[in-house]
Chain A
Amino acid sequence: MNRSTHLSAYALDRLVAGTPGDREQRHLAACDACRARLDAHRETLQAIAHTPEFARQRGRVLAAAAAAAPRPRPRPRPRRRSHLLAAVLALAAALAVVVWPDRGSGPAGLTPPDTLRPKGGFVLSVVRPADGQVDGVFPAGAEVELRVGGWEAAALVLALDVEGRASVVWPAGAARSGRIASDGRLSPRFQVTPGDLLLLSLFSNTPIDAETARRAFEEAAAACAGPPEPACSAPPHQAGEIGRAWSRLRVGEGDR
């Protein structure tokens, strides 16, 4: 059958959504075949809407949208400050700019460039793509994916095991931090092996040296009594680091 004279998939979708054009409605009124196709298409979509996966995905989208929403900004105060105060602040800012190059003894990468700024809080999550579970308890053998948010340039993800050994998780085998994909997913995916991990992501514009950061993480953890915790296992600020985020990979029975 030549479908070119019949309604397209797009036209059928518009009819199901209740937003058809005149042309589609006229055609539908005169075409038995397209009415039958429309009924079949409607049934297919209804079947999808009644699957448990649809309900689960709907909850996932609503939760993700709510989590991604920035906090409401405080209302700007009415301008009551004097011009004198504004002038003083401007002078202070100018002095800061002039003085800054004299602090050149520190690492150059510590100054975030003006072109890129954090979009919100830095985030590191462990997600099981098979069911969308985020940061829960995962069974050994589960396939998981690391996702980052709040930064667009580069990241280095380190893991600390319960015995205080640090390793570079992402980018695997690389000497430096890696470029973040536009959707924040750090590929490839990982398979969960027995043993909990404390995960640390360092975000940067310029590459962070993986081995230096790994060693710093291990040394910080060694000085820490008890199980690895962000509060006492945090390595010192790394050259090039803009911000960091923590997560945990807990291994257990989980939701299979």
Chain B
Amino acid sequence: MRQPIEMSAREPASVDGLEQGELARLYTRHAPAVFARARRLLGDETQAWDVTHDVFVRLAARRKPPRAPVRYLYRAVTNACIDRWRRADGRWAVPLDEAPGTRDPRQAALARSVLRALWADLDETDRRIAVLRFVDGLPQREIASILGIWRRTVGRRLDRIIARARALAEEPS
């Protein structure tokens, strides 16, 4: 019979992907920021730790560490959070303005309301762009860098998202 997985803070000797020491170094250096951002996006500590866990386990499977870890991790956390929202059918578990560590809770909550209304209309790339723009508040230049797409593409898609939001606001409820 399969042995239960031992949960231990002791570092196992090696992994097939990244070297264990490399993974431990990346975790120590970047996990606090990954967790803080996931908490900001999800508004829930337990889910934020789950996302942090999943992101680093996936990172561990890579043969080499990412060349730009912060950029890689922004992308990974965005995708992981969108995946969670998708599974929750676009619902956010906890109101963002109750989440600890939120910089500008009212603005983030407003952005989230807009996103929630738009969610079904957005494709995967639009969702990523919308999260990075309206929840993280990043400029187009940084969004383009994180997602590895042209800045002009980001601008064009944002225009479309905003136009759709306006149209939605004008629609009779």
Contact = CB atoms under 8 A, between A and B. Distances in A.
A8 B136 contact: yes
A46 B31 CA distance: 11
Interface stretch (B32-40, B148-156, B162-170): B32-40
Interface of B: 1-2, 4-18, 20, 23-24, 27-33, 35-37, 40, 46, 49-50, 52-54, 56-57, 60-61, 68-70, 74, 83, 87, 101, 103-104, 136-139, 142, 146
Given A17-B70, A61-B53, A69 B4 contact: no
B56 A59 contact: no
Given A8-B139, A63-B12, A123-B2, A46 B32 contact: yes
Given A13-B37, A46-B32, 16 more contacts: A8-B142, A9-B37, A9-B40, A17-B29, A45-B36, A58-B9, A61-B52, A61-B57, A63-B8, A65-B20, A65-B23, A65-B56, A69-B15, A69-B60, A135-B4, A136-B4
A121 interface: yes
Contacts of B138: 8-10
B69 A17 contact: yes
Given A8-B142, A63-B8, A136-B4, A49 B32 contact: yes
A197 to B, nearest CB: 14
A111 interface: no
A134 B4 contact: yes
A68 interface: yes
A196 to B, nearest CB: 14
A69 B16 CA distance: 5
17 contacts: A4-B139, A10-B142, A16-B33, A17-B29, A46-B32, A49-B28, A58-B9, A60-B7, A60-B53, A61-B23, A61-B52, A62-B24, A63-B6, A64-B53, A66-B14, A67-B5, A136-B4
Interface stretch (A124-132, A160-168, A202-210): A124-132
Question: Could you tell me the dominant secondary structure of chain A's interface residues?
Answer: helix
Interface residues of A, number: 52
Nearest to B104: A3
Contacts of B10: 59
Nearest to A73: B16
A70 interface: yes
Interface string A177-189: 0000111000000
B64 to A, nearest CB: 15
Given A3-B137, A69-B17, A121 B2 contact: yes
A62 to B, nearest CB: 5
Contacts of B49: 53, 57
Given A45-B32, A61-B56, A129 B50 contact: yes
Interface in A84-116: none
Contacts of B9: 55-56, 58-59
A222 interface: no
A56 B24 CA distance: 13
Nearest to B100: A44
Interface in A18-35: 19
A78 interface: no
B53 to A, nearest CB: 6
Nearest to B4: A135
A135 B1 CA distance: 13
B11 to A, nearest CB: 5
